[in-house]
Amino acid sequence: MKHFAVKYLREEKLPTPFCPGCGNGILMNAFFKAVEELGYRDLRDFVFCSGIGCAAWIPSPHFMADSIHTLHGRAIPVATGIKLMKPHLKVVVIGGDGDLAGIGLSHLIHAARRNIGLTVIMVNNMIYGMTGGQVAPTTPRGIKTTTTPKGNLEDPIDVARILVEAGAPYVAKWTTYHVISLKNSIKKALRKKGFTYIEVVSQCPTSYGRNAGFKNPSEMLKWFKENSITYEKAKKMGRDIWKKKIVVGEYVDIYRKELTERIRMEDLDYEN
Ligand SMILES: Cc1ncc(C[n+]2csc(CCOP(=O)(O)OP(=O)(O)O)c2C)c(N)n1
Ligand code: SF4
């Protein structure tokens, strides 16, 4: 019997180019499970947009859907254009942390501020995976990478908290260990009208794990499990906890009027 997800995939593109044990497959599976549980039987209501990197390869060319591979870091401007012209479509951006939080960070912040109806899923593997493991703005302090052989001196950026401040109505963060919660957040995000952001802290055993001292992908999953703390607990603790732990959960889930709807209705209400 074929796996339920095969109908969402271009079979001629399988197997994927991902390394064994890469977290990208976990996200792919969670995404299809979410879509299936929402009652979709194909992806014709969706358009996928991605930049450059291993994570960007998740939708394009693997999903049996309309998809576009853009320049590195520029998926959001292209997705914004698609949403403005075709507001009835579910426009989903999937990309890596280098792509979305490095070279493309300003686009991400402005999409949240505008509250345009995109769903952005950022695979945070804490490294530039595709290009061989250079330090990223998300790499934890002290971690050895190919460009920080003695350990990273910088602190990582916390994109989820930045996007809450920017006005995103839905922000959630999970790891590849928290697959059920990840799938449920994807379902919620796809049902919501405004800008939605889901971050998944993921394992890159090849470009991150080896240099950082993990023996195999399952060691990384165990590390995610043991080093995560819920958002509710973190809020009651001191500032340092955000640096020491992976804070998982829904950071925000509120209502704000979506931009393309406001444009269509010529809605100049400044309150919501
Ligand atoms: C303008 C530009 N600069 C640099 C690159 C080289 N490049 C390709 S992928 C990548 C990093 C991707 O890292 P990330 O987004 O974290 O994705 P991952 O491969 O880790 O999934 C870089 C720097 C490029 N393609 N274009
Ligand atoms: S280099 Fe890392 S992110 Fe890229 S496919 Fe391999 S394990 Fe996955």
**Within a domain: 111:** yes
pLDDT-derived band at 271 (thresholds 50, 70, 90) equals: low
**Ligand 2 atom nearest residue 123's Cα:** 3
Instruction: Using the predicted structure, report yes or no on whether residue 201 has a pLDDT greater than 90.
Output: yes
- Beta-bridged to residue 173, according to DSSP, are 199, 249
What is the identity of the amino acid at 218?
A: S
Q: Is the pLDDT of residue 272 over 70?
A: no
Q: In this structure, what CATH number is given to the domain that contains residue 62? A: 3.40.50.970
- Residue 200 counted as domain residue: yes
**The ligand 2 atom nearest the CA atom of 54:** 4
28 pLDDT above the threshold of 70: yes
CB distance 129 to ligand 1 below 6 Å: yes
Main-chain phi, psi angles of 100, to 5 degrees: -90, -30
* Edge-to-edge strands, sheet with 46-50: 66-69, 46-50, 90-96, 118-124, 196-201, 170-175, 246-253, 228-230
Read off the pLDDT band of 98 (50, 70, 90): very high
Nearest CA to ligand 2 atom 6: 19
Q: Using the predicted structure, report yes or no on whether residue 102 has a pLDDT greater than 80.
A: yes
Tell whether 31 is covered by a domain: no
For residues 62 and 16, give the distance between their C-alpha atoms in angstroms, rounded to a whole number: 8
Q: Which domain holds residue 155?
A: 42-263
pTM above 0.95, yes or no: yes
**202-258 pLDDT per residue, tens:** 999 999 999 999 999 999 999 999 999 999 999 999 889 998 999 999 999 999 999
What separation in Å is there between the alpha carbon of 192 and the centre of ligand 2? Answer: 30
Q: Taking residues 90-103, what's their average pLDDT?
A: 98
179 contacts: CB under 8 Å, gap ≥ 6 = 26, 29, 30
**Ligand 2 midpoint to CA 23 (Å):** 8
Sign of the torsion angle spanned by Cα atoms 95, 96, 101, 104: negative
Residue 30 lies in a domain: no
Encoded tokens for 226: 């043991």
Identify residue 167 by its one-letter amino acid code. G
Overall number of domains in the chain: 1
User: What atom of ligand 1 comes closest to residue 56's alpha carbon?
Assistant: 21
**Do 108 and 159 form a contact (C-beta atoms < 8 A)?**
yes
Answer whether residue 161 is part of any domain: yes
Q: Which of ligand 1's atoms lies nearest the C-alpha of 123? A: 21
Residue 205 alpha carbon to ligand 2 centre in Å: 7
In a domain? residue 119 = yes
* d(CA 136, ligand 1 centre) in Å: 10
Measured in angstroms, how far is the CA atom of residue 131 from the centroid of ligand 1?
6
Phi, psi of 129 (to 5 degrees): -70, -55
Query: If you write DSSP's letter for every residue of the chain in order, what string do you get?
Result: ---GGGGGB-GGGPSPSPPTT-THHHHHHHHHHHHHHTT-SSSTTEEEEE-SSTGGGTTTTTBSSEEEE-STT-HHHHHHHHHHH-TTSEEEEEEEHIIIIIITHHHHHHHHHHT-SEEEEEEE-SSBTTTT-B--TTPPTT---SS-TT---SPPP-HHHHHHHHT-SEEEEEETT-HHHHHHHHHHHHH-SS-EEEEEE---IIIIIHHHT-SSHHHHHHHHHHTEEEHHHHHTS-TTHHHHSEEEEEEEE-----HHHHHHHT------
Look at residue 20 and tell me if it is in a domain. Answer: no
9 is a domain residue: no
